[in-house]
Chains A and B, each alone.
Chain A
Amino acid sequence: MIPLQTQSTLPDWAALAPTLLLGLTALALLLVDSIDPDDDSPGLLAGVATLGSVLAMVVTGWYLVAGTGMPRTGGAIELFNGQLVVDGMSLFFTFIFASVTALVSVASYDYLADRAHQAEYYALVLLAATGMTLMASANGLATAFVALELSSLPSYGLVAFLKNNRGSVEAGLKYFLIGAVSSSVLVYGISLVYATTGVMKLPAIATALGGGVAGQGTLGVLGVGILMVAGGFAFKTASVPFHFWAPEAYEGAPAPISGFLSSASKAAGFVLAFRVFVTAFPLEVVAGTLDWTLAFTVLALVTMTLGNFAAATQENVKRMLAYSSIGHAGYALIGIAIVTGTANQGYALGASMLHLFVYGFMNTGAFLFVALVEYWGVGRTFEDYNGLAKQAPVACFAMTIFLFSLAGLPIGGGALSKWALLSATASAATLSAYLLAAALIVNSALSLFYYSRVVKAMWIEEPAGDFEVSSYPTGLYAAVVGAAIVTFLLLPAFGVVSGTAFDAAAALF
């Protein structure tokens, strides 16, 4: 079966197959649960969730290889009268969401052992993933908002899943409140943009703005609208100024969910921001109103610096990872901050996409390792990790790969994606790009300090007490080791992914 031929025979809606698969898996999980609600066989639920997300991942990977929605096979596929679009970028991000979902599902099998409401848990994860894939495909502001809510609402529930744990409930409430505020900011921004242009679809907005629909009097309204839309996305990506929820939510949530939110949910925020700003508000059209690259430059600088400095002062590993996740949001913002028209735009955006791709594996892996440690009942501070490597060398080896890769040492793909960002700033060759490059280097150096603290605790320090690892949970181990293998392989095999990312990003312009 030659993919390209199959492509021409499939109907257009088949391009949404990954989204449909994820959504149907969520429904299937509820069905399984309703047939026998008292059956607590987590294996079946975790298996169905994993199967569904792996299927979605395989289909997405196949589409990416076949070039569905890419210029070489006829360009983006528009569905539902142009409300949804399937192109290289949406598929690339769908692959991230599906693979993170698969990892989280496998890991949750052990993490959730003996807990109630497992079916709801898996169903919420898959519904959130469905929402994320829709965010990647959304081609209109209204669709974007609905998709964003579809991914956010299950997330609130998931963060508060450990409902007997005060931290978890508090985190859920905080996440929900800030989410609600930022949603309203976003929807207000959308309404302002609609007020000036009168359309909702992204390409139509650009056309309307380019045609001079916006009168002189409404330029200010448009500018405020764009800024508010950016604010709405900042919530989803855990960037300044809507980042306050992230440390609490990631710390309080079940660790697999922290990994899910900080990798997949963040990437979903980014893909939406990329598409909306590049398609609806092209710089040459809105430059007279608002130079949003400047806004993103400032956001990127503040976000990465704040995230890294805060991470350096933490005593709790999970919280450190949460702040470092904010720092990485700052790195990923570089891609959109240097889309200045003069630079190689596709390259800049592609570099950010690559960073989010690698991040999806190395960060999820790191949080899953934290989940493993929580499963063993070890504490959460750096000291509690002392001497862990004596008990569990394989898992600690995997964690070491994650941490060094996050720091940008060439032990995993993280180094290459940072280099891609760095060379993208070089190709932009503006003062703000150089500033971003300098901040990236300085922050990476700083991050090595706090990441290596964990490594030092695990391998070098002596264990404080007579702690014994009692069991080696298969699911968690499989997920952690699997993520480590992918993180490492992304170093030699980076070229396999990078070509697709740059092509997909270039097709957007």
Chain B
Amino acid sequence: MLVELLIVFALMAAGLVFLVPDEYAGQFAAVLSLVPVGVSLWMYSIFDGTGNALLEGGQPAFETVANWITLGPYAISWHVGLDGVSMPLVVLTTLLTTLAIVSAWTPIDERESQFYGLVLFMQAALIGVFAALDFLLWFVFWEAVLVPMYFLIGVWGGPRRKYAAIKFFVYTNVASLVMFAGFFTLVFGLGDSISTLGLPAIAQALEAGQLGSVGGFGPGTVKLAAFAALFFGFAVKVPVVPFHTWLPDAHVEAPTPVSVLLAGVLLKMGTYALLRFNFTMLADVARANAALIAIFAVVSVIYGALLALAQQDLKRIVAYSSISSMGYVILGLIAFTPHGVGGATFQMVSHGLISGLMFMAVGVIYNETHTRMIGDMSGMADRMPVTAGVFVAAAFGYMGLPLMSGFAAEVLVFMGAFRSTTIPMAPLFTGIAMFGIVIVAGYLLRAMQKTLFGPFRLETDYEIGRAPLQDVAPLFVLLALVIALGVAPDLFYRMIQDAVFEVTALGLGGGA
């Protein structure tokens, strides 16, 4: 019942915050959001799931199944549960929500109660996405995330917010639709062999080779088509180059706290779904097309990093670097080795923390200076030493400094990918992807050098002083977490390994 408690509490909190007066909304929302943090940490401490929730032998923790509706031949259930992949992501979601709420106290100064209400509503939906084990239930949460995000960008965003919000909404909705159609092709193909839309049932039916033909196309074609549709649907969300163009607009226009959630959690929906659907349910198709997917991954890494290198806006730099980091996740997933898939999952959490930290640090600087352009400022370390220090730490985390979580994640991914037998010429792909780190170092060092160091200069009319405690405190919390996970990756990696180990053995028998 704990998953339900999380979701229902977040929904009720959203409703309450929507109704309180604007002056208290921020504080009230932060206090309320501490409850999901506490509950999720407690759930983490008593976590007893084993194996992968989708596969035979896996036993998710906190599982509940209750009949919801019956649509024709399919029983749709309220089916939730957490395994080693989803548990860390739920913890990530609750933590980042609280921190994002606190970091919103300074920049958000109109319609506060609506803002915090939407953030909490989105939290409920995000937990649902990671916990749902029934397709329609999962899809309900998946779509429900989009609605608050649309408003958060559209109402509280920057000058071009309307354009960015619509672009985000249209891109992701079209992607959802294609993905939905792709998944239902699979369901039709499975025919009578499934009686529910539960993800485990479908994964196991596919594994057992129950897929029939649909509309005259054989199982192989159906699988390939479904894989392509699902991959497209999730690739937009991740985003993978060339489906990434919504991301910079959304990030640049979104207010900082929303960027934190967008980069920290929403992008992970895409990689999480890729892992669940494309790389678990349709593992054999993924293996058969490993070279192509690895190319997508490597192109995302390099091209994303090059795009970041060309930016002058600090926020754009961080936004594009997310594309590059997500490329590592895809590379790790397609490697189909325990360290590859495990490292990719670990990278989802790690990147959530580090990119959240980077966006917040940029946000703190922006709150004081009201500019994010590299050329407009220099020597900020002089006036904002604490913030600058955290920024430097975060940047090194991004570059993969040992003892920070980014290092652990990337090392695991590279180790896994290097030894992969699934990707043809794996060392070559891995080598090119590793080169991405060099570019990352390049643009982050350049950005820091120009903005933080050197003589103080600022080309705006704002008085600048030390950032208030409420802005800086979330930075330290995140930094502590990044270091903690870097020193002791096993905090999450052990349960992740347990959950993904089975996945790496999938698809070898070759169904299609």
A interacts with B: yes
Task: Please give the residue numbers on chain A whose beta carbons come within 8 Å of chain B beta carbons, in ascending order.
Answer: 344, 347, 390, 393, 397, 404, 409-411, 415-416, 419-420, 422-424, 426-427, 429, 434, 441, 445, 448-449, 452, 456, 459-461, 491-492, 494-495, 498-499, 502
Q: Which of B68, B72, B143, B165 contacts A410 (CB 8 A)?
A: B143
Q: Does the CB pair A415–B114 fall under 8 Å?
A: no
Chain A residues contacting B150 (CB-CB under 8 Å) are 452
A-B residue pairs in contact (CB < 8 Å), sample of 20: A344-B72, A393-B114, A409-B144, A410-B144, A427-B73, A429-B188, A434-B215, A441-B177, A441-B180, A441-B181, A449-B170, A452-B166, A452-B169, A456-B162, A460-B155, A491-B140, A495-B67, A495-B68, A498-B70, A502-B70
Chain B 115-155 interface mask (CB, 8 Å, partner A; 1/0): 00000000000000000000010011001101100110011
Q: Does the CB pair B162–A445 fall under 8 Å?
A: no
Chain A residues contacting B174 (CB-CB under 8 Å) are 445
Q: A445-B177, A456-B162 are in contact. Are A416 and B72 (CB under 8 A)?
A: no
A487 CB to closest chain B CB (Å) equals 14
Say whether B251 faces chain A, with CB atoms less than 8 Å apart: no
Chain B residues contacting A427 (CB-CB under 8 Å) are 72-73
Task: Please give the residue numbers on chain B whose beta carbons come within 8 Å of chain A beta carbons, in ascending order.
Answer: 18, 67-74, 111, 114, 136, 139-140, 143-144, 146-147, 150-151, 154-155, 161-162, 165-166, 169-170, 173-174, 177, 180-181, 184, 187-188, 215
How far does the alpha carbon of A427 sit from the alpha carbon of B69 in the complex, in Å?
17
Q: Which of B143, B155, B166, B177 contacts A459 (CB 8 A)?
A: B155
A425 CB to closest chain B CB (Å) equals 10
Question: Nearest residue in A to B113 (C-beta to C-beta)?
Answer: A393
Q: Does the CB pair A410–B139 fall under 8 Å?
A: yes
Q: Which of B74, B147, B188, B215 contacts A404 (CB 8 A)?
A: B147
Q: A445-B173, A445-B174, A460-B161 are in contact. Are A495 and B143 (CB under 8 A)?
A: no
Q: A410-B139, A445-B174, A448-B173 are in contact. Are A498 and B69 (CB under 8 A)?
A: yes
Q: Which of B71, B114, B170 contacts A423 (CB 8 A)?
A: B71
Q: Which of A347, A416, A422, A492 contacts B184 (CB 8 A)?
A: A422
A165 CB to closest chain B CB (Å) equals 34
B240 CB to closest chain A CB (Å) equals 22
Chain B residues contacting A344 (CB-CB under 8 Å) are 72
Chain B residues contacting A445 (CB-CB under 8 Å) are 173-174, 177
Q: Does the CB pair B154–A456 fall under 8 Å?
A: yes
How far does the alpha carbon of A469 sit from the alpha carbon of B424 in the complex, in Å?
66
Chain B residues contacting A393 (CB-CB under 8 Å) are 114
How far does the alpha carbon of A347 sit from the alpha carbon of B136 in the complex, in Å?
18
Chain B residues contacting A423 (CB-CB under 8 Å) are 71-72, 74
How far does the alpha carbon of A448 sit from the alpha carbon of B140 in the complex, in Å?
16
Q: Which of A411, A424, A460, A492 contacts B72 (CB 8 A)?
A: A424
Given pairs A416-B69, A419-B71, A492-B68, 7 additional interface contacts (CB within 8 A): A347-B72, A390-B111, A410-B144, A420-B71, A429-B188, A452-B150, A456-B165
Q: A344-B72, A420-B71, A441-B181 are in contact. Are A411 and B147 (CB under 8 A)?
A: yes
Q: Does the CB pair B144–A411 fall under 8 Å?
A: yes
Chain A residues contacting B136 (CB-CB under 8 Å) are 419
Q: Which of A452, A456, A499 contacts B70 (CB 8 A)?
A: A499
How far does the alpha carbon of A409 sit from the alpha carbon of B177 in the complex, in Å?
11
Question: Nearest residue in A to B185 (C-beta to C-beta)?
Answer: A426
Q: Does the CB pair A495–B166 fall under 8 Å?
A: no
A449 CB to closest chain B CB (Å) equals 8
Question: Nearest residue in B to A461 (C-beta to C-beta)?
Answer: B162
Question: Nearest residue in A to B161 (C-beta to C-beta)?
Answer: A460
Chain A residues contacting B184 (CB-CB under 8 Å) are 422, 426
Q: A456-B154, A459-B154 are in contact. Are A498 and B71 (CB under 8 A)?
A: yes
Q: Which of A404, A419, A429, A448 has the most CB of B within 10 A?
A: A419
Chain A residues contacting B139 (CB-CB under 8 Å) are 410
Chain B residues contacting A491 (CB-CB under 8 Å) are 140
How far does the alpha carbon of A7 sit from the alpha carbon of B183 in the complex, in Å?
46
Chain A residues contacting B71 (CB-CB under 8 Å) are 419-420, 423, 498
Chain B residues contacting A498 (CB-CB under 8 Å) are 69-71
Q: Which of B67, B71, B143 has the most CB of A within 10 A?
A: B71
Chain B residues contacting A460 (CB-CB under 8 Å) are 151, 154-155, 161-162, 165
How far does the alpha carbon of A299 sit from the alpha carbon of B448 in the complex, in Å?
64
How far does the alpha carbon of A390 sit from the alpha carbon of B22 in the complex, in Å?
13
B355 CB to closest chain A CB (Å) equals 26
B283 CB to closest chain A CB (Å) equals 25
How far does the alpha carbon of A448 sit from the alpha carbon of B172 in the complex, in Å?
12
Q: A423-B74, A426-B188, A448-B173 are in contact. Are A410 and B140 (CB under 8 A)?
A: yes
How far does the alpha carbon of A453 sit from the alpha carbon of B308 in the complex, in Å?
33
B142 CB to closest chain A CB (Å) equals 9
B15 CB to closest chain A CB (Å) equals 10
Chain B residues contacting A411 (CB-CB under 8 Å) are 144, 147
How far does the alpha carbon of A427 sit from the alpha carbon of B74 in the complex, in Å?
11
How far does the alpha carbon of A410 sit from the alpha carbon of B143 in the complex, in Å?
7
B244 CB to closest chain A CB (Å) equals 21
Question: Nearest residue in A to B156 (C-beta to C-beta)?
Answer: A460
A483 CB to closest chain B CB (Å) equals 18
How far does the alpha carbon of A419 sit from the alpha carbon of B187 in the complex, in Å?
13
Chain A residues contacting B114 (CB-CB under 8 Å) are 393
A153 CB to closest chain B CB (Å) equals 39
B390 CB to closest chain A CB (Å) equals 33
Q: Which of A344, A420, A426 has the most CB of B within 10 A?
A: A426
B75 CB to closest chain A CB (Å) equals 10
Q: Does the CB pair B155–A409 fall under 8 Å?
A: no
CB-CB nearest 6 A-B residue pairs: A410-B140, A495-B69, A460-B154, A347-B72, A494-B69, A423-B71
How far does the alpha carbon of A272 sit from the alpha carbon of B170 in the complex, in Å?
39
Question: Nearest residue in A to B73 (C-beta to C-beta)?
Answer: A427
Q: Does the CB pair A409–B72 fall under 8 Å?
A: no
How far does the alpha carbon of A441 sit from the alpha carbon of B229 in the complex, in Å?
15
How far does the alpha carbon of A419 sit from the alpha carbon of B68 in the complex, in Å?
14
Question: Nearest residue in B to A409 (C-beta to C-beta)?
Answer: B143
Chain B residues contacting A456 (CB-CB under 8 Å) are 154, 162, 165-166
Chain B residues contacting A347 (CB-CB under 8 Å) are 72
How far does the alpha carbon of A174 sit from the alpha carbon of B173 in the complex, in Å?
39
Q: Which of B72, B114, B173 has the most CB of A within 10 A?
A: B72
Question: Nearest residue in B to A400 (C-beta to C-beta)?
Answer: B147
B6 CB to closest chain A CB (Å) equals 16
B191 CB to closest chain A CB (Å) equals 10
Question: Nearest residue in B to A347 (C-beta to C-beta)?
Answer: B72
Chain B residues contacting A449 (CB-CB under 8 Å) are 170
B207 CB to closest chain A CB (Å) equals 22
A461 CB to closest chain B CB (Å) equals 8
A21 CB to closest chain B CB (Å) equals 31
Chain A residues contacting B140 (CB-CB under 8 Å) are 410, 415, 491
